[in-house]
A = this chain, B = another copy of it.
Amino acid sequence: MTGERLKQYQTMLEKKLESYLPEEGTQQADVAEAMRYSLLEGGKRIRPVLLMEFCRVCGGDPEKVLPFACAVEMIHTYSLIHDDLPCMDDDSMRRGRPSNHIMFGEASALLAGDALLTMAFEIMSSKEAVEAVGAERAVRASHILAVRAGASGMIGGQQIDLMSEGRGISLDTLRTMDEKKTSALISAACRMGCALAGAGEEKEEAAGRYAWSMGLAFQIVDDILDATGTQEELGKPVHSDAERDKNTYVSFMGLTEASEEAQRLTQEAVKQLDAFGEEAAFLKELTNELCSRRK
């Protein structure tokens, strides 16, 4: 249903993302190559698509906010690269391919992550971005993203993950962790879309609530797919024993209840989209698709 518009956004994003990467053959060739490897290697581009679509339903032009959409994807990509490092999750595979540090070594992976994180903010403060939306909105979007990507948002979630490794945690802590690790960046994307279109506080708050529920639903579906092995068949690495013991929604609730919780959260998310009127039809479909996916 959502196929055509989604594909249109994705095509715009791929082209734009590539345009930002440093050229190969320069003295920074290794970092450039490592950045390119992780940034251009697919993924569904959910966060930047949400940013563009929230901008559109608020009356903005999705094409104009491409630099900001790309910035969000760069933050997401850097977090995956650093998360896979041996001192973190020590994952040797990502999306069916060797992780960044397996391909380029730990040092280049570290630097590629740092460079993508830095580039996200370079892009949002570029002449192109400022001319497209004005300095006020550009700086506002930058702030929304920085707050949710930082120590009280995404990085905070990774820290909770780290501290809970190999220990039992409560369902509440698991939820807080996922709100920070997953929902925070999705929330940044949705809120940025609204803010960049000049939507009011009310819509931005609704977008934030949407993201919170949608992010959790998304994460629970991830856990369910992990537990039922669907992702393994699709080339996701077989998890180590340590990782199998991880606290997940499935281990807390069982498959059936986790599934129901995901559905409940999806409905909550979709309900928030009513604030955006009829234009939100695509967002509603997309949300239902993402949260009922089988892979």
Contact = CB atoms under 8 A, between A and B. Distances in A.
A114 B82 contact: yes
A13 to B, nearest CB: 20
21 contacts: A22-B151, A22-B152, A27-B160, A27-B176, A28-B155, A28-B160, A31-B151, A82-B114, A85-B87, A108-B159, A111-B159, A111-B162, A113-B114, A115-B155, A118-B146, A118-B151, A118-B155, A121-B121, A121-B142, A130-B139, A139-B139
A107 B130 contact: no
Contacts of A4: none
A162 B85 CA distance: 18
Question: What is the total number of copies of this protein in its complex?
Answer: 2
Contact of A119 (B30, B31, B122, B151): B151
A272 interface: no
Contacts of A152: 22, 28
A143 B126 contact: yes
Interface of A: 22, 27-28, 30-32, 35, 78, 82, 85, 87-88, 105-108, 110-111, 113-115, 117-119, 121-122, 124-126, 130, 134-136, 138-140, 142-143, 146-147, 149-152, 155-156, 158-160, 162-163, 176
